[in-house]
Amino acid sequence: MNVASLSAGIAATVPLAEAQTVPSASEIVDCAITVNGREYALTLDPRITLLDLLRERLHLTGAKKGCDHGQCGACTVLSGGTRINSCLSLAVTHNGDFITTIEGLARNGDLHPLQAAFIEHDGFQCGYCTPGQICSAAGLLNEVRGRAKPLDDAEIRERMSGNICRCGAYPNIVAAIKAVRGRVAG
Amino acid sequence: MKAFAYARPSTTDEAIATFSSSSGAKFLGGGTNLIDLMKMGVEQPSTLIDITRLPLATIEEHAGGIRIGAMVRNSTVAEHPLVRDRYPVLSQAILAGASPQLRNMATIGGNLMQRTRCSYFYDPTYAHCNKRLPGSGCDAIDGYNRMHAILGASDQCIATNPGDMAVALMALDARIQVLGPQGPRSRLAGDFFRLPGDTPNIDTNLRPGELITAVDLPPIDWATGGHYLKVRDRNSYAFALISVAAVVGLDSNGSIRRAQLALGGVAHMPWRVPDAERVLIGQTPGDGAFRDVAEALLKGAKPYAHNRFKVELVRRSIARALEAASTRA
Protein backbone atom coordinates (compact mmCIF):
# COMPACT_ATOMS: atom_id res chain seq x y z
CA MET A 1 0.00 0.00 0.00
CA ASN A 2 1.31 3.46 -0.77
CA VAL A 3 0.35 6.84 0.58
CA ALA A 4 -1.82 7.68 -2.43
CA SER A 5 -4.07 4.71 -1.74
CA LEU A 6 -4.83 5.81 1.80
CA SER A 7 -8.03 7.58 2.72
CA ALA A 8 -7.87 11.36 2.44
CA GLY A 9 -6.79 13.16 5.59
CA ILE A 10 -4.85 10.31 7.16
CA ALA A 11 -1.50 10.62 5.43
CA ALA A 12 -1.31 14.31 6.25
CA THR A 13 -1.47 13.89 10.02
CA VAL A 14 -0.28 10.38 10.82
CA PRO A 15 3.24 9.06 10.34
CA LEU A 16 3.50 6.64 7.43
CA ALA A 17 4.12 3.55 9.54
CA GLU A 18 0.98 4.27 11.53
CA ALA A 19 -1.09 5.22 8.53
CA GLN A 20 -0.34 1.94 6.81
CA THR A 21 -2.13 0.05 9.54
CA VAL A 22 -5.40 1.89 8.87
CA PRO A 23 -7.47 -0.30 6.57
CA SER A 24 -9.18 1.24 3.58
CA ALA A 25 -12.96 1.12 3.36
CA SER A 26 -12.85 -2.04 1.26
CA GLU A 27 -11.34 -3.94 4.15
CA ILE A 28 -14.25 -3.37 6.52
CA VAL A 29 -16.46 -6.43 6.82
CA ASP A 30 -20.17 -6.69 7.64
CA CYS A 31 -20.95 -9.34 10.17
CA ALA A 32 -23.92 -10.65 12.18
CA ILE A 33 -23.07 -12.30 15.50
CA THR A 34 -25.44 -13.37 18.25
CA VAL A 35 -24.01 -12.83 21.72
CA ASN A 36 -25.89 -14.05 24.79
CA GLY A 37 -29.08 -14.30 22.76
CA ARG A 38 -28.90 -10.82 21.25
CA GLU A 39 -28.05 -10.43 17.56
CA TYR A 40 -25.64 -7.68 16.62
CA ALA A 41 -25.24 -6.30 13.11
CA LEU A 42 -21.61 -5.20 13.05
CA THR A 43 -19.20 -3.47 10.75
CA LEU A 44 -15.77 -4.76 11.65
CA ASP A 45 -12.13 -4.21 10.94
CA PRO A 46 -11.10 -7.83 10.24
CA ARG A 47 -8.20 -7.48 12.69
CA ILE A 48 -10.55 -7.27 15.68
CA THR A 49 -10.46 -10.43 17.76
CA LEU A 50 -13.64 -11.83 19.23
CA LEU A 51 -12.27 -10.90 22.67
CA ASP A 52 -11.76 -7.25 21.72
CA LEU A 53 -15.19 -7.12 20.08
CA LEU A 54 -16.81 -8.42 23.28
CA ARG A 55 -14.88 -6.15 25.62
CA GLU A 56 -14.36 -2.95 23.68
CA ARG A 57 -17.46 -2.71 21.49
CA LEU A 58 -20.13 -4.73 23.22
CA HIS A 59 -18.84 -3.80 26.70
CA LEU A 60 -19.05 -7.40 27.91
CA THR A 61 -15.94 -7.29 30.05
CA GLY A 62 -16.36 -10.67 31.74
CA ALA A 63 -14.01 -12.46 29.34
CA LYS A 64 -10.52 -11.29 30.31
CA LYS A 65 -7.43 -10.47 28.31
CA GLY A 66 -4.81 -12.37 30.27
CA CYS A 67 -2.01 -13.33 27.91
CA ASP A 68 -3.72 -12.55 24.56
CA HIS A 69 -1.83 -15.52 23.05
CA GLY A 70 -4.03 -18.53 23.85
CA GLN A 71 -1.89 -19.64 26.77
CA CYS A 72 -3.97 -18.73 29.84
CA GLY A 73 -7.64 -19.37 29.00
CA ALA A 74 -8.95 -16.21 30.72
CA CYS A 75 -10.67 -15.25 27.44
CA THR A 76 -12.58 -18.53 27.11
CA VAL A 77 -16.11 -18.18 25.72
CA LEU A 78 -18.52 -20.60 24.07
CA SER A 79 -19.21 -20.57 20.33
CA GLY A 80 -22.22 -22.74 19.58
CA GLY A 81 -21.69 -24.37 22.97
CA THR A 82 -18.03 -25.16 22.21
CA ARG A 83 -15.32 -23.54 24.31
CA ILE A 84 -12.73 -21.48 22.44
CA ASN A 85 -10.03 -18.89 23.14
CA SER A 86 -11.64 -15.62 22.01
CA CYS A 87 -8.22 -13.91 21.88
CA LEU A 88 -7.03 -16.06 18.95
CA SER A 89 -10.26 -15.88 17.01
CA LEU A 90 -11.01 -13.07 14.59
CA ALA A 91 -14.50 -11.67 15.14
CA VAL A 92 -15.32 -11.69 11.41
CA THR A 93 -14.86 -15.46 11.29
CA HIS A 94 -17.86 -15.76 13.65
CA ASN A 95 -20.44 -14.43 11.19
CA GLY A 96 -23.68 -16.26 12.01
CA ASP A 97 -22.31 -17.84 15.19
CA PHE A 98 -23.95 -17.94 18.63
CA ILE A 99 -21.50 -16.78 21.30
CA THR A 100 -22.08 -17.19 25.03
CA THR A 101 -19.97 -15.29 27.57
CA ILE A 102 -20.01 -15.42 31.36
CA GLU A 103 -22.64 -12.64 31.26
CA GLY A 104 -24.99 -14.96 29.36
CA LEU A 105 -24.88 -18.03 31.60
CA ALA A 106 -27.38 -16.95 34.27
CA ARG A 107 -31.07 -17.48 33.51
CA ASN A 108 -33.77 -15.06 34.71
CA GLY A 109 -31.57 -13.86 37.53
CA ASP A 110 -30.62 -17.36 38.67
CA LEU A 111 -26.94 -18.19 38.58
CA HIS A 112 -25.79 -20.99 36.28
CA PRO A 113 -25.15 -24.14 38.36
CA LEU A 114 -21.41 -23.71 37.73
CA GLN A 115 -21.48 -20.12 38.97
CA ALA A 116 -23.28 -21.23 42.14
CA ALA A 117 -20.86 -24.13 42.60
CA PHE A 118 -17.80 -21.90 42.22
CA ILE A 119 -19.18 -19.73 45.04
CA GLU A 120 -20.17 -22.72 47.17
CA HIS A 121 -16.77 -24.40 46.77
CA ASP A 122 -14.75 -21.17 46.88
CA GLY A 123 -13.35 -21.86 43.41
CA PHE A 124 -11.48 -18.57 43.11
CA GLN A 125 -9.42 -16.03 44.96
CA CYS A 126 -8.74 -12.87 42.91
CA GLY A 127 -11.40 -13.81 40.36
CA TYR A 128 -9.55 -12.71 37.24
CA CYS A 129 -9.48 -16.15 35.61
CA THR A 130 -12.95 -17.12 36.89
CA PRO A 131 -15.13 -16.13 33.90
CA GLY A 132 -12.82 -18.17 31.67
CA GLN A 133 -12.75 -21.06 34.14
CA ILE A 134 -16.56 -21.18 34.33
CA CYS A 135 -17.08 -20.89 30.56
CA SER A 136 -14.45 -23.58 30.07
CA ALA A 137 -16.16 -25.82 32.62
CA ALA A 138 -19.49 -25.27 30.83
CA GLY A 139 -17.82 -26.38 27.59
CA LEU A 140 -16.32 -29.38 29.39
CA LEU A 141 -19.74 -30.48 30.65
CA ASN A 142 -21.12 -30.19 27.10
CA GLU A 143 -18.25 -32.38 25.84
CA VAL A 144 -18.96 -35.21 28.29
CA ARG A 145 -22.77 -34.95 28.27
CA GLY A 146 -24.44 -38.35 27.92
CA ARG A 147 -21.24 -40.23 28.66
CA ALA A 148 -21.55 -43.12 31.10
CA LYS A 149 -17.93 -43.05 32.32
CA PRO A 150 -17.59 -40.99 35.53
CA LEU A 151 -15.54 -37.82 35.45
CA ASP A 152 -12.77 -38.19 38.03
CA ASP A 153 -10.47 -35.49 39.41
CA ALA A 154 -7.57 -36.39 37.12
CA GLU A 155 -9.72 -36.09 34.01
CA ILE A 156 -11.22 -32.78 35.17
CA ARG A 157 -7.71 -31.44 35.73
CA GLU A 158 -6.57 -32.58 32.27
CA ARG A 159 -9.69 -31.21 30.60
CA MET A 160 -9.29 -27.87 32.44
CA SER A 161 -5.56 -27.59 31.65
CA GLY A 162 -6.22 -24.72 29.24
CA ASN A 163 -7.22 -22.44 32.10
CA ILE A 164 -4.47 -21.15 34.34
CA CYS A 165 -5.24 -19.89 37.88
CA ARG A 166 -2.24 -18.09 39.37
CA CYS A 167 -3.93 -17.95 42.78
CA GLY A 168 -3.90 -21.74 42.68
CA ALA A 169 -7.59 -22.35 43.37
CA TYR A 170 -7.41 -25.58 41.38
CA PRO A 171 -8.61 -28.02 44.09
CA ASN A 172 -11.76 -25.98 44.67
CA ILE A 173 -12.34 -25.47 40.93
CA VAL A 174 -12.18 -29.25 40.47
CA ALA A 175 -14.59 -29.73 43.39
CA ALA A 176 -17.07 -27.23 41.92
CA ILE A 177 -17.06 -28.89 38.50
CA LYS A 178 -17.34 -32.35 40.00
CA ALA A 179 -20.34 -31.29 42.07
CA VAL A 180 -22.21 -29.92 39.05
CA ARG A 181 -21.31 -32.91 36.87
CA GLY A 182 -22.58 -35.22 39.61
CA ARG A 183 -25.88 -33.37 39.68
CA VAL A 184 -26.51 -33.16 35.93
CA ALA A 185 -25.30 -36.68 35.21
CA GLY A 186 -27.51 -38.03 38.01
CA MET B 1 -1.40 -6.29 13.59
CA LYS B 2 -0.88 -5.18 10.00
CA ALA B 3 -4.00 -4.49 7.95
CA PHE B 4 -5.17 -7.18 5.57
CA ALA B 5 -8.08 -7.91 3.28
CA TYR B 6 -10.49 -10.60 4.42
CA ALA B 7 -12.07 -13.09 2.01
CA ARG B 8 -14.65 -15.76 2.82
CA PRO B 9 -14.90 -18.03 -0.25
CA SER B 10 -17.62 -20.68 -0.40
CA THR B 11 -15.85 -23.21 -2.64
CA THR B 12 -12.32 -24.61 -2.77
CA ASP B 13 -11.95 -23.39 -6.37
CA GLU B 14 -12.87 -19.89 -5.27
CA ALA B 15 -10.37 -20.10 -2.40
CA ILE B 16 -7.55 -21.12 -4.74
CA ALA B 17 -8.49 -18.43 -7.29
CA THR B 18 -8.51 -15.79 -4.53
CA PHE B 19 -5.05 -16.92 -3.46
CA SER B 20 -3.72 -16.73 -7.03
CA SER B 21 -5.09 -13.22 -7.55
CA SER B 22 -3.44 -11.69 -4.47
CA SER B 23 0.23 -11.64 -3.59
CA GLY B 24 1.02 -12.50 0.02
CA ALA B 25 -2.27 -14.23 0.82
CA LYS B 26 -2.66 -16.88 3.52
CA PHE B 27 -5.38 -19.43 4.14
CA LEU B 28 -6.97 -19.15 7.60
CA GLY B 29 -8.09 -22.27 9.44
CA GLY B 30 -8.63 -22.24 13.20
CA GLY B 31 -6.12 -19.40 13.49
CA THR B 32 -4.58 -20.67 16.71
CA ASN B 33 -1.05 -20.21 15.36
CA LEU B 34 -1.48 -17.82 12.43
CA ILE B 35 -3.42 -15.14 14.35
CA ASP B 36 -0.84 -15.32 17.14
CA LEU B 37 2.01 -14.91 14.63
CA MET B 38 0.16 -11.96 13.08
CA LYS B 39 -0.10 -10.33 16.51
CA MET B 40 3.66 -10.83 16.91
CA GLY B 41 4.30 -9.33 13.46
CA VAL B 42 5.99 -12.53 12.27
CA GLU B 43 3.25 -13.19 9.71
CA GLN B 44 1.95 -10.23 7.71
CA PRO B 45 -0.45 -11.57 5.07
CA SER B 46 -1.97 -9.11 2.60
CA THR B 47 -5.14 -11.18 2.43
CA LEU B 48 -6.61 -13.73 4.80
CA ILE B 49 -8.70 -16.34 3.03
CA ASP B 50 -11.07 -17.81 5.62
CA ILE B 51 -11.52 -21.44 4.59
CA THR B 52 -13.27 -22.65 7.74
CA ARG B 53 -16.69 -22.69 6.05
CA LEU B 54 -15.54 -24.71 3.03
CA PRO B 55 -17.19 -28.13 2.66
CA LEU B 56 -14.08 -29.96 3.91
CA ALA B 57 -15.28 -30.95 7.37
CA THR B 58 -16.29 -34.62 7.15
CA ILE B 59 -14.67 -37.84 8.34
CA GLU B 60 -15.51 -40.86 6.20
CA GLU B 61 -14.32 -44.34 5.34
CA HIS B 62 -12.27 -44.17 2.17
CA ALA B 63 -10.40 -46.88 0.22
CA GLY B 64 -10.27 -49.15 3.25
CA GLY B 65 -8.92 -46.36 5.45
CA ILE B 66 -10.31 -43.04 6.66
CA ARG B 67 -10.43 -39.65 4.92
CA ILE B 68 -10.41 -36.65 7.28
CA GLY B 69 -11.43 -33.35 5.73
CA ALA B 70 -8.91 -30.55 6.23
CA MET B 71 -11.39 -28.36 8.12
CA VAL B 72 -12.37 -30.98 10.69
CA ARG B 73 -11.42 -29.67 14.13
CA ASN B 74 -8.70 -31.46 16.07
CA SER B 75 -11.07 -32.30 18.92
CA THR B 76 -13.55 -33.89 16.50
CA VAL B 77 -10.85 -36.12 14.99
CA ALA B 78 -9.54 -37.19 18.39
CA GLU B 79 -13.00 -38.19 19.63
CA HIS B 80 -14.21 -39.85 16.40
CA PRO B 81 -14.99 -43.58 16.93
CA LEU B 82 -13.27 -44.65 13.68
CA VAL B 83 -10.08 -42.85 14.69
CA ARG B 84 -10.14 -44.01 18.30
CA ASP B 85 -10.77 -47.64 17.34
CA ARG B 86 -8.46 -48.06 14.36
CA TYR B 87 -5.76 -45.44 14.86
CA PRO B 88 -5.54 -44.80 18.61
CA VAL B 89 -2.05 -43.31 18.25
CA LEU B 90 -3.57 -40.42 16.29
CA SER B 91 -6.28 -39.79 18.85
CA GLN B 92 -3.72 -39.85 21.66
CA ALA B 93 -1.34 -37.53 19.81
CA ILE B 94 -4.02 -34.92 19.16
CA LEU B 95 -5.22 -35.03 22.78
CA ALA B 96 -1.62 -34.56 23.94
CA GLY B 97 -1.43 -31.25 22.07
CA ALA B 98 -2.46 -27.78 23.28
CA SER B 99 -5.63 -27.33 25.38
CA PRO B 100 -9.28 -28.31 24.83
CA GLN B 101 -10.13 -24.77 23.71
CA LEU B 102 -7.32 -24.74 21.14
CA ARG B 103 -8.17 -28.24 19.91
CA ASN B 104 -11.78 -27.09 19.41
CA MET B 105 -10.50 -24.32 17.14
CA ALA B 106 -7.56 -25.95 15.35
CA THR B 107 -8.18 -27.71 12.06
CA ILE B 108 -6.38 -30.75 10.68
CA GLY B 109 -5.14 -28.80 7.66
CA GLY B 110 -4.08 -25.81 9.72
CA ASN B 111 -2.38 -28.00 12.30
CA LEU B 112 -0.12 -29.42 9.58
CA MET B 113 0.90 -25.86 8.72
CA GLN B 114 1.74 -24.68 12.25
CA ARG B 115 5.15 -23.08 12.53
CA THR B 116 8.01 -23.69 14.91
CA ARG B 117 7.86 -22.36 18.47
CA CYS B 118 11.58 -21.49 18.41
CA SER B 119 11.55 -18.32 20.51
CA TYR B 120 14.08 -16.63 18.22
CA PHE B 121 11.67 -17.14 15.32
CA TYR B 122 8.57 -16.17 17.29
CA ASP B 123 9.91 -12.90 18.68
CA PRO B 124 10.91 -10.31 16.04
CA THR B 125 13.03 -8.43 18.56
CA TYR B 126 15.69 -11.08 17.88
CA ALA B 127 17.61 -9.91 14.86
CA HIS B 128 18.85 -13.20 13.52
CA CYS B 129 16.48 -15.87 12.28
CA ASN B 130 16.87 -17.43 8.85
CA LYS B 131 13.35 -18.79 9.03
CA ARG B 132 11.83 -15.35 9.62
CA LEU B 133 14.40 -13.23 7.80
CA PRO B 134 16.31 -15.36 5.26
CA GLY B 135 20.03 -14.62 5.39
CA SER B 136 19.95 -12.94 8.81
CA GLY B 137 21.58 -15.80 10.73
CA CYS B 138 20.43 -18.01 13.60
CA ASP B 139 20.35 -16.79 17.20
CA ALA B 140 19.40 -20.26 18.43
CA ILE B 141 22.59 -22.09 17.44
CA ASP B 142 24.64 -20.23 20.06
CA GLY B 143 21.63 -19.26 22.15
CA TYR B 144 19.34 -21.05 24.56
CA ASN B 145 18.60 -24.12 22.47
CA ARG B 146 17.07 -26.52 24.97
CA MET B 147 13.94 -27.09 22.86
CA HIS B 148 15.80 -27.37 19.57
CA ALA B 149 16.71 -30.06 17.05
CA ILE B 150 19.27 -32.83 17.46
CA LEU B 151 18.65 -34.44 14.07
CA GLY B 152 18.53 -33.17 10.49
CA ALA B 153 19.34 -29.55 11.37
CA SER B 154 21.54 -27.29 9.25
CA ASP B 155 23.93 -24.46 10.04
CA GLN B 156 21.08 -22.18 8.98
CA CYS B 157 18.35 -23.41 11.33
CA ILE B 158 17.94 -25.78 14.29
CA ALA B 159 14.21 -25.25 14.85
CA THR B 160 11.85 -28.14 15.55
CA ASN B 161 8.40 -28.88 14.21
CA PRO B 162 6.19 -28.42 17.31
CA GLY B 163 3.39 -30.77 16.23
CA ASP B 164 1.95 -33.83 17.96
CA MET B 165 -0.62 -34.87 15.36
CA ALA B 166 2.01 -34.66 12.64
CA VAL B 167 4.20 -37.20 14.46
CA ALA B 168 1.35 -39.71 14.52
CA LEU B 169 0.51 -39.05 10.87
CA MET B 170 4.14 -39.68 9.99
CA ALA B 171 4.19 -43.00 11.86
CA LEU B 172 0.94 -44.04 10.17
CA ASP B 173 2.11 -43.16 6.64
CA ALA B 174 -0.82 -40.78 6.24
CA ARG B 175 -1.30 -39.13 2.87
CA ILE B 176 -1.95 -35.39 2.55
CA GLN B 177 -4.40 -34.45 -0.22
CA VAL B 178 -3.96 -31.02 -1.75
CA LEU B 179 -5.67 -28.96 -4.43
CA GLY B 180 -3.79 -26.29 -6.32
CA PRO B 181 -3.96 -24.19 -9.47
CA GLN B 182 -2.70 -27.27 -11.35
CA GLY B 183 -5.34 -29.55 -9.84
CA PRO B 184 -5.25 -32.20 -7.10
CA ARG B 185 -2.26 -34.22 -5.95
CA SER B 186 -1.15 -35.96 -2.79
CA ARG B 187 2.00 -36.52 -0.74
CA LEU B 188 2.87 -38.94 2.00
CA ALA B 189 3.44 -37.19 5.34
CA GLY B 190 7.14 -38.02 5.01
CA ASP B 191 7.28 -36.10 1.76
CA PHE B 192 5.07 -33.24 2.95
CA PHE B 193 7.44 -31.93 5.61
CA ARG B 194 11.06 -31.02 4.87
CA LEU B 195 14.40 -30.39 6.53
CA PRO B 196 15.65 -26.81 6.77
CA GLY B 197 18.79 -27.04 4.61
CA ASP B 198 19.64 -23.67 3.09
CA THR B 199 16.00 -22.56 2.95
CA PRO B 200 14.62 -22.85 6.49
CA ASN B 201 12.04 -20.18 5.66
CA ILE B 202 10.14 -22.95 3.82
CA ASP B 203 8.41 -25.36 6.24
CA THR B 204 6.78 -27.81 3.85
CA ASN B 205 6.84 -29.08 0.27
CA LEU B 206 3.44 -27.52 -0.46
CA ARG B 207 3.60 -25.40 -3.59
CA PRO B 208 2.40 -21.77 -3.42
CA GLY B 209 -1.38 -21.61 -3.71
CA GLU B 210 -1.96 -25.24 -2.82
CA LEU B 211 -4.71 -25.91 -0.30
CA ILE B 212 -4.77 -28.99 1.94
CA THR B 213 -8.16 -30.64 1.39
CA ALA B 214 -7.89 -33.88 3.36
CA VAL B 215 -5.69 -36.32 5.24
CA ASP B 216 -6.02 -40.01 4.33
CA LEU B 217 -5.19 -42.73 6.83
CA PRO B 218 -4.10 -45.96 5.12
CA PRO B 219 -6.04 -49.24 5.20
CA ILE B 220 -3.99 -50.99 7.88
CA ASP B 221 -5.69 -53.24 10.42
CA TRP B 222 -2.79 -53.46 12.89
CA ALA B 223 -2.58 -49.83 13.98
CA THR B 224 -4.64 -50.73 17.06
CA GLY B 225 -1.28 -51.48 18.67
CA GLY B 226 -0.40 -47.82 18.90
CA HIS B 227 0.93 -45.48 21.55
CA TYR B 228 1.84 -41.80 21.68
CA LEU B 229 4.27 -40.80 24.40
CA LYS B 230 4.89 -37.11 25.01
CA VAL B 231 7.62 -35.99 27.40
CA ARG B 232 7.38 -32.35 28.47
CA ASP B 233 8.15 -29.92 31.27
CA ARG B 234 4.64 -30.06 32.73
CA ASN B 235 2.06 -32.79 32.57
CA SER B 236 -0.31 -31.03 30.21
CA TYR B 237 -0.54 -28.03 27.89
CA ALA B 238 3.16 -27.81 26.94
CA PHE B 239 5.17 -28.50 23.80
CA ALA B 240 7.10 -31.74 23.59
CA LEU B 241 10.72 -32.06 24.59
CA ILE B 242 10.50 -35.48 22.95
CA SER B 243 7.54 -37.40 21.65
CA VAL B 244 7.23 -40.85 20.13
CA ALA B 245 4.41 -42.21 17.98
CA ALA B 246 4.72 -45.98 17.82
CA VAL B 247 2.59 -48.53 15.96
CA VAL B 248 3.37 -52.20 16.46
CA GLY B 249 1.89 -55.42 15.05
CA LEU B 250 2.78 -58.79 16.61
CA ASP B 251 2.89 -62.35 15.24
CA SER B 252 0.86 -65.08 16.88
CA ASN B 253 4.05 -66.12 18.71
CA GLY B 254 4.46 -62.61 20.14
CA SER B 255 7.36 -61.40 18.00
CA ILE B 256 7.20 -58.10 16.15
CA ARG B 257 5.66 -58.45 12.67
CA ARG B 258 5.36 -54.75 11.77
CA ALA B 259 6.62 -51.60 13.46
CA GLN B 260 6.47 -47.94 12.47
CA LEU B 261 7.61 -45.09 14.68
CA ALA B 262 8.24 -41.39 14.43
CA LEU B 263 9.81 -38.87 16.81
CA GLY B 264 8.65 -35.35 17.64
CA GLY B 265 10.70 -32.57 19.19
CA VAL B 266 13.97 -33.63 17.57
CA ALA B 267 13.95 -32.16 14.05
CA HIS B 268 12.46 -29.68 11.60
CA MET B 269 9.97 -32.44 10.72
CA PRO B 270 8.64 -35.54 12.44
CA TRP B 271 11.64 -37.89 12.36
CA ARG B 272 11.25 -41.32 10.85
CA VAL B 273 13.84 -43.80 9.55
CA PRO B 274 12.13 -46.81 7.90
CA ASP B 275 15.46 -48.70 7.75
CA ALA B 276 15.74 -48.38 11.53
CA GLU B 277 12.30 -49.93 11.97
CA ARG B 278 13.41 -53.10 10.17
CA VAL B 279 15.72 -53.78 13.11
CA LEU B 280 12.59 -54.65 15.10
CA ILE B 281 11.05 -57.18 12.69
CA GLY B 282 11.07 -60.70 14.09
CA GLN B 283 12.34 -59.50 17.49
CA THR B 284 10.65 -60.14 20.80
CA PRO B 285 9.51 -56.80 22.27
CA GLY B 286 12.04 -55.87 24.93
CA ASP B 287 14.82 -53.52 25.95
CA GLY B 288 17.47 -55.03 23.64
CA ALA B 289 15.44 -54.52 20.47
CA PHE B 290 14.20 -51.13 21.62
CA ARG B 291 17.78 -49.94 22.27
CA ASP B 292 18.86 -51.08 18.82
CA VAL B 293 16.11 -49.20 17.03
CA ALA B 294 16.83 -46.08 19.14
CA GLU B 295 20.50 -46.15 18.12
CA ALA B 296 19.51 -46.54 14.46
CA LEU B 297 17.10 -43.58 14.71
CA LEU B 298 19.69 -41.44 16.50
CA LYS B 299 22.39 -42.03 13.88
CA GLY B 300 23.96 -38.66 13.07
CA ALA B 301 22.44 -36.96 16.11
CA LYS B 302 24.06 -33.61 16.85
CA PRO B 303 22.99 -32.00 20.12
CA TYR B 304 23.69 -28.36 21.03
CA ALA B 305 24.77 -26.75 24.29
CA HIS B 306 21.43 -26.97 26.10
CA ASN B 307 19.74 -30.02 24.59
CA ARG B 308 22.26 -32.85 25.09
CA PHE B 309 19.74 -34.51 27.43
CA LYS B 310 17.49 -35.18 24.45
CA VAL B 311 19.70 -37.99 23.13
CA GLU B 312 19.25 -40.18 26.21
CA LEU B 313 15.65 -39.05 26.54
CA VAL B 314 14.99 -40.34 23.01
CA ARG B 315 16.38 -43.78 23.93
CA ARG B 316 14.21 -44.07 27.02
CA SER B 317 11.11 -42.60 25.37
CA ILE B 318 11.35 -45.02 22.43
CA ALA B 319 11.60 -47.98 24.79
CA ARG B 320 8.58 -46.84 26.79
CA ALA B 321 6.46 -46.09 23.72
CA LEU B 322 7.30 -49.38 21.99
CA GLU B 323 6.60 -51.32 25.15
CA ALA B 324 3.18 -49.69 25.52
CA ALA B 325 2.36 -50.20 21.82
CA SER B 326 3.44 -53.87 21.98
CA THR B 327 1.22 -54.44 25.00
CA ARG B 328 -1.77 -53.18 23.01
CA ALA B 329 -0.88 -54.99 19.78
| Record: contact B4-A29, CB cut-off 8 A | no
Flag whether residue A7 sits within 8 Å of chain B, measured between CB atoms.
Answer: no
Asked whether the predicted pLDDT for residue A40 surpasses 90, the reply is yes
Flag whether residue A161 sits within 8 Å of chain B, measured between CB atoms.
Answer: yes
The pLDDT, as a whole number, for residue A1 is 34
The pLDDT, as a whole number, for residue A11 is 36
Residue A12 forms part of a structural domain: no
Are A50 and A96 contained in the same domain? Answer: yes
Residue A11 forms part of a structural domain: no
Residue A8 forms part of a structural domain: no
Residue A13 forms part of a structural domain: no
Select from B1, B2, B6 the residue whose CB has the most chain A CBs within 10 Å, as the one to mutate to test that interface.
Answer: B6
How would you class B299 by CB atoms within 10 Å of its CB: exposed for 0-12, middle for 13-18, buried for 19 or more? exposed
Which residues 70-109 of B are in CB contact (within 8 Å) with A? 75, 98-102, 104-105
Residue B109 forms part of a structural domain: no
- Helices A113-120 and A130-143: angle between axes, nearest 10 degrees: 120
Q: How many independent structural domains does chain A possess?
A: 2
| Record: contact B3-A47, CB cut-off 8 A | yes
Of B51, B66, B89, the one marking the end of a domain is B51
Of A104, A129, A144, the one marking the end of a domain is A104
SS3 of chain B: the string is CCCCEEECCCCHHHHHHHHHCCCCEEEECCCCCHHHHHHHCCCCCCEEEECCCCCCCCEEEECCEEEEECCCEHHHHHHCHHHHHHCHHHHHHHHCCCCHHHHHHCEHHHHHCCCCCCHHHHCCCCCCECCCCCCCCECCCCCCCCCCCCCCCECCECCCCCCCHHHHHHHCCCEEEEEECCEEEEEEHHHHECCCCCCCCCCECCCCCCEEEEEEECCCCCCCCEEEEEECCCCCCCCCCEEEEEEEEECCCCCEEEEEEEEECCCCCCECCHHHHHCCCCCCCCHHHHHHHHHHHCCCCCCCCCCCHHHHHHHHHHHHHHHHHHHHC
Q: What is the mean pLDDT of residues A160-176?
A: 98
Cα Rg, chain B, nearest whole Å: 19
The pLDDT, as a whole number, for residue A25 is 45
The pLDDT, as a whole number, for residue B35 is 98
The pLDDT, as a whole number, for residue B275 is 94
The pLDDT, as a whole number, for residue A16 is 43
Are A97 and A152 contained in the same domain? Answer: no
User: Which residue of B lies nearest to A132 if distances are taken between CA atoms?
Assistant: B101
Are A162 and A179 contained in the same domain? Answer: yes
Sheet architecture: strand order including B183-188: B59-62, B65-69, B211-217, B175-180, B183-188
Chain B residues whose CB is inside 8 A of the A174 CB are: none
CATH number reported for the structural domain that contains residue B279 in this entry? 3.30.390.50
Of B32, B51, B70, the one marking the end of a domain is B51
Pairing of strands A29-35, A38-44: antiparallel
- CA distances for A83 relative to B10, B12, B119, B256, angstroms: 25, 27, 28, 42
| Record: contact A49-B237, CB cut-off 8 A | no
| Record: contact A88-B36, CB cut-off 8 A | yes
| Record: contact A83-B31, CB cut-off 8 A | no
The pLDDT, as a whole number, for residue A27 is 77
Are A100 and A117 contained in the same domain? Answer: no
Are A151 and A178 contained in the same domain? Answer: yes
Asked whether the predicted pLDDT for residue A23 surpasses 60, the reply is no
Are A95 and A158 contained in the same domain? Answer: no
Residue B192 forms part of a structural domain: no
- Buried/exposed code over B300-327 (b: 16+ C-beta within 10 A; e: otherwise): ebebbeebeebbebbbbbbbbbbbbbbe
Residue B97 forms part of a structural domain: no
Flag whether residue B2 sits within 8 Å of chain A, measured between CB atoms.
Answer: yes
Q: Is the separation of the CB atoms in A122 and B69 below 8 Å? A: no
Residue B56 forms part of a structural domain: no
Flag whether residue A14 sits within 8 Å of chain B, measured between CB atoms.
Answer: no
How would you class B180 by CB atoms within 10 Å of its CB: exposed for 0-12, middle for 13-18, buried for 19 or more? middle
Give the Cα separation of B51 and B59 in Å (integer). Answer: 17
Asked whether the predicted pLDDT for residue A3 surpasses 90, the reply is no
Residue A66 forms part of a structural domain: yes
Are A142 and A168 contained in the same domain? Answer: yes
Lowest model confidence (mean pLDDT) among A127-136, A177-186, B79-88, B278-287: A177-186
- Helices A170-185 and A113-120: angle between axes, nearest 10 degrees: 140
pLDDT tens track, chain B, 329 positions: 999 999 999 999 999 999 999 999 999 999 999 999 999 999 999 999 999 999 999 999 999 999 999 999 999 999 999 999 999 999 999 999 999 999 999 999 999 999 999 999 999 999 999 999 999 999 999 999 999 999 999 999 999 999 999 999 999 999 999 999 999 999 999 999 999 999 999 999 999 999 999 999 999 999 999 999 999 999 999 999 999 999 999 999 999 999 999 999 999 999 999 999 999 999 999 999 999 999 999 999 999 999 999 999 999 999 999 999 999 99
CATH number reported for the structural domain that contains residue A47 in this entry? 3.10.20.30
The four Cα atoms B234, B237, B242, B246 give a dihedral, to 10 degrees, of 120
Are A169 and A138 contained in the same domain? Answer: yes
Residue B121 forms part of a structural domain: no
Of A104, A124, A142, the one marking the end of a domain is A104
Mean residue pLDDT across chain A: 88
CATH number reported for the structural domain that contains residue B29 in this entry? 3.30.43.10
Q: How many pairs of residues across A and B have Cβ atoms under 8 Å apart?
A: 91
Lowest model confidence (mean pLDDT) among A153-162, A177-186, B281-290: A177-186
B2 or A19: which leads in pLDDT = B2
Residue A163 forms part of a structural domain: yes
Flag whether residue A49 sits within 8 Å of chain B, measured between CB atoms.
Answer: yes
Chain B residues whose CB is inside 8 A of the A22 CB are: 3
The pLDDT, as a whole number, for residue A185 is 59
Query: pLDDT-based confidence at A183, cuts 50/70/90?
Result: confident
Chain B residues whose CB is inside 8 A of the A68 CB are: 39
Nearest to B163 by CA among B171, B152, B175, B155: B171
Model ipTM value: 0.96
Are A145 and A88 contained in the same domain? Answer: no
Residue B47 forms part of a structural domain: yes
Chain B nearest CA to A61, separation (Å): 19
Q: How many independent structural domains does chain B possess?
A: 2
| Record: contact A21-B35, CB cut-off 8 A | no
Lowest model confidence (mean pLDDT) among A12-21, A169-178, B17-26, B208-217: A12-21
Residue A29 forms part of a structural domain: yes
Domain of residue A54 covers 24-104
Are A132 and A91 contained in the same domain? Answer: no
Domain of residue B316 covers 226-328
Of A59, A85, A104, the one marking the end of a domain is A104
pTM: 0.94
Residue A78 forms part of a structural domain: yes
The pLDDT, as a whole number, for residue A20 is 44
Residue B88 forms part of a structural domain: no
